[in-house]
Amino acid sequence: MPDLLIRNARRFGEDARVGWLLVDAGRITALGTGTEPPAAAVHDADGALVAPGFVDIHCHGGGGASGEAGPDDIRRAAAFHRSHGTTSIVISLATAPMELMLQRLADIAAVADQDDRILGAHLEGPYLSPAHRGAHDERLLCAPTLAAVREILATANGHLRQITLAPERAPEGVIEALVAGGVRVAVGHTAATREQAASAFARGASILTHAFNGMPGLHHREPGPVLAAWRNPSVTIEVIADGVHVHPDAIAMLFALAPGRMALVTDAIAAAGAPDGDYPLGAFVATVRDGIARIGASGSLAGSTLTMDRAVRTVIGAGIAPEDAIRAATSTPARTLGEAHLGVLRAGAPADLVQFDDQFRLTRIWSRGQSVEPATVG
């Protein structure tokens, strides 16, 4: 007998049609309306919206745990975000000495080998622009080489999912080698012109890292990387929807410019879900006050304390249709990584599910069919 029947649910992606989902062995095995099949356990959604679990492709930590602090912290950070509905996650690494970044990359790869809900690693550095370094140590920034790319790919053993780089620093062949190695190349922390960014996208880069942050802003004579990403229909545009990194009106503009290509990311650090204080991030310590993380005398933003459920509510509050906001937290980021079986409700997909109330707060979470207690705040 199947493990679980979720009945009386408004199923996301089906015009909010009320029906049922059947779960067995961690997967959705059937969806339907009308006569309900038997199951070992039954959950009545009472007409609530049930959607896929969130997919976060850019997250440094959370719940007091840093993705840079070894396997136990990686698992703790993933578990924290799972309690906010993120059932699949990519662990991001900030710029550090390359030997240390490679060790951290190996740690993530080892955990991902044991738990496929951890999708792998994202290197945010060291191939970034000093002019738009944000929370990255300028002394460690450098240009990539093909030899370095080969070492990174060997260490990752197939678990490097994304790398952010400044394309103006990338010699010919670097982007192509990363893409050939199965890595999604993201343009970010960059001083690139529109032309340089457009060239990177033409060479295979497919993501814009946290739009507007770590790059030149829009200008009517020099539109920069944001509009280069908009012009290329194969590019996914990340946005940190915490109301701090990007104004809600600018978020709404991005969704209007690139429908179906927006990916919500948290860029969260260990301080997400933890008290204000000081938290390690790459080569620096981020100081968190009133939930906002900054570094140095300049007060540069240093990641966020965001969770994906709050990001969805922020986007809806900016006037975006709920289905578009939820899609930006589910199927779009999953598709961006080539994980089209995630972030969807269909037979055969993992039973990663969230249930919303009418204020888009989470009331139930399932990860691979197992119930997860939702966090009470966020």
3-state helix, strand, coil in the chain (%, to 5): 30, 30, 45
- CA–CA dist 298, 307 (Å, integer): 25
Q: What are phi and psi of 48, to 5 degrees?
A: -75, 160
When computed from its CA atoms, the radius of gyration of the chain, rounded to whole angstroms, is: 20
Q: What is the DSSP letter of 13?
A: T
Neighbouring C-beta atoms of residue 347, cutoff 10 Å:
12
Query: What is the DSSP secondary-structure string of 25-67?
Result: TTEEEEEESSSPPP-SEEEE-TT-EEEEPEEEEEE-EETTEET
Which one is catalytic: 242, 267, 309, 352?
A: 267
Q: Give Cα 151 distance to the centre of its chain.
A: 25
Whether residue 267 lies in the annotated active site:
yes
Residue with tokens 């009470």: 376
Q: What is the DSSP letter of 258?
A: S
- CA–CA dist 343, 336 (Å, integer): 11
Helix axes 71-82, 98-114, angle to 10 degrees: 60
Beta pairing partners, 239: 264
Q: Which two tokens stand for residue 214?
A: 């770590």
The catalytic site residues sit at: 267
